[in-house]
Each structure stands twice: as structure tokens, then as C-alpha cells.
Amino acid sequence: MVWMRYNPHQLGETNNQKGGKEMVRQTVLPFKLERTEERVTARSGLVLYAEFMAAMGVEGLVDQHMPKPGSGRGFEATSYIKPLCMALYGGGEAIEDVREIREDDSLRVVLEFDEIPSSSAIGDWLKRMGKRGGVEGMEEVNDEITAKVLKKDDREAYTLIVDPTMIESHKREAQMSYLGFKGYRPVVATLKEIGLVVAYEFKEGNDHGGRVEIWKMGKQVKQAEQPQPKNLFETG
């Protein structure tokens, strides 16, 4: 088990511990630190995200819908997607940030990550998936997760927020945006009442369109075996 020890004490308390444990005296904050050889991690919050992914059955959906590896020695899709999701959820901004997950031995023990592909391997895999149906596969994964959430919701009306955002990029093929930098301008449709993204469309940075295909919303509701909401108010 990965954990951190916290020992509160009164301000001004002196440290006279015995037993071979080295203590660091604190003079301001109401706690003291203990040096330990036990495994610890600064990313313990990612364990909860991993639990969420497991509860939603993400790994099974990825294995079902994503293309299989080209050889028996290749990594399954989840071996690329899970650490990448962890890195992004933990504040990462690039594929290279996966190395922080790979180098965190304590976190890997808890998450049961026996082996994590390198950043370059993940990048190569993403490129291959773009040509082998990976985008369509992930859309199916997203559709089924969205349907699971909608199936548990009994609202009769939603507010659909359609909102574009900007992602700066240094790729050669990235287009110049109206903000003066190159990048992309994806548009996301969200149900305000439950904060659920039901549709998205990836756009170039110079694409000023601000809508997505609303039929995708109906697809999600149909998959959830729910009646079409009586009222769908669009804003954005």
C-alpha cells in the first residue's frame, strides 16, 4: 500500500523521538515530517481516477472497439490509453508527460501497470490509430460511456452548451487561429445539467464554425434506451 505519514503536534513542540527514526523539527506549521523508506507517491489522487475508469468499464470498451495490435508482441490499446489518460488527468500537456507515470514506481504498483510504453511508442501508436480506425473506435467508446450516464438520468429537459475552444500547437500542419497562434479549434457539446460531453468535432484553428452535428445527441439517447428529451435548449 502506498501512503504518506502525517504526525500533527503542537506549535513549538520539540522533537525527542527515539527508536532510530529521524524526525524533522517544525517551528511554524502544526506538523512534523518523518523520513521513511516506504513507498510514497505525490500522485495518489490518480488512483481515484483509475477507480472511476474501472467502474465505467473503460478497459473492456477499449478492447472491444479499438483495433488490435498488429502482432502477438504488441501492446493492447489499453496499455497506451490508460497511462496517457492518467498523465493528462494529472495535469500533463504532452505525450512526453507519460514518463512521470512510468517513473512513479509506487503509483504503478497500485495501478498494476507492469509495463508502460515509451512516449515515442505512444506517439507512433496514435499515428497508426489515425489510419486504422482508432478515431472511430474511441468514438464508440465515448458513445457507450455517455449512454451509461444518460441511462441513469431521468430528466425531461437539458440545456445543450455548444462551445469551441482553442488548443495551441507547434505542428507544421496546424493552422493560424484568430488569436494569433497556430493550433486547433475543437467544438464541444455539453449537457449543462449533468456536465456531460455528448458530442464533439475536431476543427482546424482557422475554422470559425461553432456547431457540431446535433444528431449525435439523439444517438446517445437512443443508445441509453431513453425517450428523446421533451425539451433541448441550445446555447453557446
In a domain, 63, yes or no: yes
For cell 498523465, what's the residue?
Answer: 87
The strand pairing partners of 23, in sequence order, are 34
In a domain, 55, yes or no: yes
In a domain, 17, yes or no: no
pLDDT band at 129 (very low <50, low <70, confident <90, very high): very high
The pLDDT score that the predictor gives to residue 14 is: 47
One-letter identity of residue 32: K
Last residue of a domain, which of 69, 100, 132?
Answer: 132
Q: Please indicate, yes or no, whether residues 172 and 120 belong to a single structural domain of this protein.
A: no
In a domain, 82, yes or no: yes
pLDDT band at 225 (very low <50, low <70, confident <90, very high): very low
In a domain, 170, yes or no: yes
In a domain, 71, yes or no: yes
Q: Please indicate, yes or no, whether residues 125 and 165 belong to a single structural domain of this protein.
A: no
Q: Please indicate, yes or no, whether residues 107 and 165 belong to a single structural domain of this protein.
A: no
Other C-beta atoms lying within 10 Å of the C-beta of residue 215: 8
Number of structural domains found in the chain: 2
pLDDT digits (tens, 9 = 90+) for 179-205: 999 999 998 888 899 998 888 888 899
Q: Please indicate, yes or no, whether residues 160 and 101 belong to a single structural domain of this protein.
A: no
H-type alpha helices, the chain: 45-55, 58-65, 77-89, 98-102, 105-111, 119-131, 134-151, 215-223
Q: Please indicate, yes or no, whether residues 99 and 171 belong to a single structural domain of this protein.
A: no
Q: Please indicate, yes or no, whether residues 120 and 49 belong to a single structural domain of this protein.
A: yes
The pLDDT score that the predictor gives to residue 37 is: 81
In a domain, 148, yes or no: no
213 vs 148: which has the higher pLDDT:
148
% the chain with pLDDT above 70: 75
Domain that holds residue 99: 45-132
Is the model's pLDDT at 134 over the cut of 60?
Answer: yes
Distance CA(94)–CA(76), nearest Å, equals: 21
51 vs 8: which has the higher pLDDT:
51
Residue whose C-alpha is closest to residue 28's, from 45, 10, 41:
10
Last residue of a domain, which of 132, 166, 199?
Answer: 132
Q: Please indicate, yes or no, whether residues 60 and 118 belong to a single structural domain of this protein.
A: yes
Q: What is the full DSSP assignment across 138-207?
A: HHHHHHHHHHHHHHT---SEEEEEEEE--EE---TTPEEPTTSSEEE--EEEEETTTTEEEEEE--BTT-
Distance CA(194)–CA(92), nearest Å, equals: 25
The pLDDT score that the predictor gives to residue 95 is: 92
Q: Please indicate, yes or no, whether residues 125 and 200 belong to a single structural domain of this protein.
A: no
Average pLDDT, the chain: 80
Distance CA(170)–CA(184), nearest Å, equals: 10
Q: Please indicate, yes or no, whether residues 49 and 127 belong to a single structural domain of this protein.
A: yes
In a domain, 146, yes or no: no
Q: Are strands 175-176 and 182-184 parallel, antiparallel or unpaired?
A: antiparallel
Q: Please indicate, yes or no, whether residues 162 and 115 belong to a single structural domain of this protein.
A: no
Last residue of a domain, which of 97, 132, 167?
Answer: 132
pLDDT digits (tens, 9 = 90+) for 168-183: 998 899 999 989 999 9
Task: Pick the range with the lowest mean pLDDT from 8-12, 105-109, 118-122.
Answer: 8-12
